[in-house]
A and B are shown apart, each in its own frame.
Chain A
Amino acid sequence: MSAYLDYWLEMLADPLVQRALTVAVIVGAAAPVVGTYLVQRRLALLGDGIGHVALTGVALGWLIGTGMGLAPGALAVPGAVVAAVVGAVVIELVRTSGRTSGDLALALMFYGGIAGGAALIKVAGGTSATLVAYLFGSLSTLSAADVVTSVALAAVILAVGLAGRWALFAAALDEDFAKASGVPTGFWNVVSATLAALTVTVAMRVVGLLLVSALMIVPVAVTQLWARSFWRTMAAAAALGAVTGAAGLVASYWYDLPPGATIVVLAIVLYAVAAIGRPLLERVRVSRQ
């Protein structure tokens, strides 16, 4: 028993683990808040599209950073933030202009983002391996400065996502009705796309760009199975995101697994359990009534 406790204490005393836990928990809580709006707007795949574009931003950041004589990769995250926000706003404008359908616009982002990233990183003097840390996450190698950036970004996402919740909700719930109420739905849709872009770049460190959308969407997919209101779905998804972030990280430490993938697999296992358990819960609810 005490060996078990020692193991825990040793793990928690490790500054790398402390940093990873901090980021996994706060990003795990912030991402589903944005994800709830995206699921309501039927844009669950938007995060993936933005993630792919962010890869081009990472490579562009490398290129510019190298050109300016900075440390390699110093501008990778700022590059990702800029590319993700621009990509998100462009897809929102393309979607509303109606010239290209939403899924076609997403498809173009997927391909262009990955191809652009892979080509540019070579130009910047890196290799495809350089991109792997961004594609699959690098939770175990966070610096103290990374933690500050991630926490600050997550705090901004949470603040805007919660302060603007009524307008974001109204614009996502029923766009025509909101428009006929004078709610500037175009503005709020751009806000939610921008929040998604910021979430992608901050979650990039946790699970990597390829899995980034999972942090936003899977907790919502789990809680929407049994929640009865929009706000409960969101609150429960945020709590679930934080818990799976921490639990997945600890599990990956114990079993020496990649942390990002472990967090996502854990969330999907929870989805399976919730989906199987729901009919049972229904029966209990009905028998109580």
Chain B
Amino acid sequence: MSPLIEARALDVSLAGNRILTGIDLVIQPGERVGLLGANGSGKSTLVKALLGLIPATAGQVRVCGREPGRQLPWGELAYVPQTSPAGSGVPTSALDVVRAGLLTGWGPWPPRGAKARALAALAQAGLKDQARTPMSRLSGGQRHRVLLARALVREPRLVVMDEPLAGVDAASADQLVAALADRADLTALVVLHDPGPFERYLGRGIVLSHGQVVADGPLGEVLPTDHHHHHEPPRPAHSHAPALEVHP
């Protein structure tokens, strides 16, 4: 099977600043990969470049075997952003938000049975009773689970999540991981500052530092050995910290 995500010598610059340099990355179907690194290491930019939200300055990106663009099989991948403006303007119920997740490509209408599928996705995310609640009245953790439901409602093969734990309480984080783990075949790329409850879900870790991949391997090997005590993100390999000495 061809890889679901493939980046070759990817460079990204934003407003003249080089953010990512020479990123090589291959994610095979079924892999669950954590994208780790300190703030400002380029994790979110990498994810956005992979999804085609930010143009690559150089190099190649292929998602689901195709270059980003109109011909991508949009129903096969889904994105969970770190934050969403959903619900911050006009009142929008959780059901409204999740139903919008069934809209892909140029088709102007969601498929038949969209409402039932959206309700099922919300129930799976533990939000059965909140379907008709406006987003503005949900907690941070609940809102994040709505965003996860919006991604999973289309039953993608690949999900890309940006900092799913930001502002999420421990109970919600566990529910989030459980909802993901329910889908055995799902390939996942998860941007994380600190793996936390995702540690048991993820199999592989890729560490970014200053816009470059500095470690790539089984999650346990790329994490600094003392991270359980400090809950600090993996440090860049060339810093003075002795914690991380793994190179690809």
Could you tell me the dominant secondary structure of chain A's interface residues?
helix
Residues of A within 8 A of B29 (CB): none
- Whose C-beta in chain B lies nearest to the C-beta of A168? B108
Judged by a CB distance under 8 angstroms, whether B85 is at the interface is yes
Stretch binding the partner chain, chosen from B86-94, B194-202, B221-229: B86-94
A1-47 CB contacts (< 8 Å) to partner B: 36, 39-42
- Report yes or no: A231 in contact with B53, Cβ–Cβ below 8 A: no
Asked if B53 contacts A180 (CB within 8 A), the reply is yes
Q: Residue B20 at the A interface, CB < 8 A?
A: no
Which stretch in B3-11, B32-40, B95-103 binds the other chain? B95-103
Task: Mark the stretch among A135-143, A201-209, A221-229 that contacts chain B.
Answer: A221-229
With A181-B101, A182-B72, A229-B95: A39-B89 Cβ-Cβ less than 8 Å: yes
A224 / chain B contacts, CB cutoff of 8 Å: 90-91
Report if A280 contacts B (CB, 8 A): no
Q: Judging by beta carbons under 8 Å apart, are A183 and B104 in contact? A: yes
Say whether B110 contacts A166, CB under 8 Å: yes
Q: Mark A40-71, 1 if CB is under 8 A from B, else 0.
A: 11100000000000000000000000000000
Contact B97 A180, beta carbon cutoff 8 Å: no
Q: Decide: A177 near B133, CB < 8 A? Known: A40-B90, A182-B104, A230-B92.
A: no
Instruction: Place the interface of chain B in its size category.
Output: 35 or more
* Residue A179, interface by CB 8 Å: yes
With beta carbons under 8 angstroms apart, the residue of B81, B89, B109 that contacts A176 is B81
Q: Could you say which of A172, A179, A220 contacts B52, with CB atoms under 8 Å apart?
A: A179
Are A228 and B90 in touch, CB under 8 angstroms? Answer: no
Given A166-B108, A182-B70, A182-B72, A173 and B103 contact (CB-CB distance below 8 Å): no
Question: Given the complex of chains A and B, what is the CA–CA distance between A212 and B75 in angstroms?
Answer: 40
**Do B74 and A176 touch across chains, with their CB atoms under 8 A apart?**
no
| Chain B residues whose C-beta falls within 8 Å of the C-beta of A184 in the assembled complex | 106
B51 within 8 A of A: yes
B84 at the interface (CB under 8 A from A): yes
Residue with the highest number of chain A CB atoms closer than 10 Å, among B51, B81, B91, B96? B91
C-alpha gap A167/B107 in the complex (Å): 8
A166 lies within 8 A of B103 (CB): yes
Residue of A nearest to B15 (CB): A98
Q: Say whether B51 contacts A180, CB under 8 Å.
A: yes
Residues of A within 8 A of B134 (CB): 228-229
Residue of B nearest to A191 (CB): B108
Question: Is A169 located at the chain interface by the 8 A CB criterion?
Answer: yes
B132 at the interface (CB under 8 A from A): yes
Q: A166-B108, A166-B110 are in contact. Are A180 and B89 (CB under 8 A)?
A: no
**Is B91 touching A229 in the complex (CB atoms < 8 A)?**
yes
Please encode chain A, from 95 to 125, with 1 for each CB lying within 8 Å of some chain B CB and 0 for all others: 0000000000000000000000000000000
Q: Of residues A41, A230, A231, which shows the largest number of chain B Cβ atoms within 10 Å of its Cβ?
A: A230
Which residues on B sit within 8 Å (CB–CB) of A172?
89
On whether the beta carbons of B85 and A173 are closer than 8 Å, the reply is yes
Q: How many contacting A-B pairs (Cβ < 8 A)?
A: 104
In the assembled complex, how far is the CB of residue B60 from the closest CB belonging to chain A, in whole angstroms? 19
Interface size on A, residues (CB 8 A): 34
In the complex, whether B105 has a CB less than 8 A from a CB of chain A is: yes
Output the least CB separation between B227 and chain A (Å).
Answer: 30
B72, A228: Cβ atoms under 8 Å?
no
Structural contact, B78 and A181, CB atoms closer than 8 A: yes
CB neighbours (8 Å) of A228 from chain B are: 91, 93, 132-134
> Which chain A residues border B93 with CB–CB below 8 Å?
228-230
Task: Give the CA-CA distance A177 to B108 in the complex, in Å.
Answer: 15
Complex: how many Å from CA A182 to CA B132? 27
B104 with A169: CB separation less than 8 A:
no
Which single member of B51, B81, B85, B100 contacts A170 (CB below 8 Å)? B100
Q: Is the CB of A182 within 8 A of B74?
A: yes
User: Of B52, B86, B91, B133, which one neighbours A180 at CB under 8 angstroms?
Assistant: B52
* Docked pose: A178 CA to B99 CA in angstroms: 12
Known: A224-B90, A229-B132. A180 touches B79 (CB 8 A): yes
B106 to chain A, nearest CB (A): 6
- CA gap between A40 and B88 in the complex, in Å: 8
Question: With A224-B90, A229-B96 given, can you name 14 additional A-B contacts, CB distance below 8 Å?
Answer: A40-B92, A174-B85, A176-B79, A177-B79, A177-B81, A177-B84, A177-B150, A181-B79, A228-B91, A228-B93, A229-B92, A229-B93, A230-B92, A234-B90
Q: Considering the complex of A and B, which 5 residue pairs feature the smallest CB-CB distances, nearest first?
A: A182-B74, A180-B79, A229-B93, A182-B105, A40-B89
Binding site for A on B (CB under 8 A): 48, 51-53, 70, 72, 74, 77-79, 81, 84-86, 89-93, 95-97, 99-101, 103-106, 108-110, 132-134, 150, 160
Q: List 23 A-B contacts (CB under 8 A).
A: A39-B89, A40-B90, A164-B108, A166-B108, A167-B108, A169-B96, A173-B96, A173-B97, A173-B100, A174-B81, A176-B84, A177-B79, A179-B53, A180-B52, A181-B103, A182-B104, A182-B106, A183-B104, A228-B134, A229-B95, A229-B132, A230-B90, A230-B93
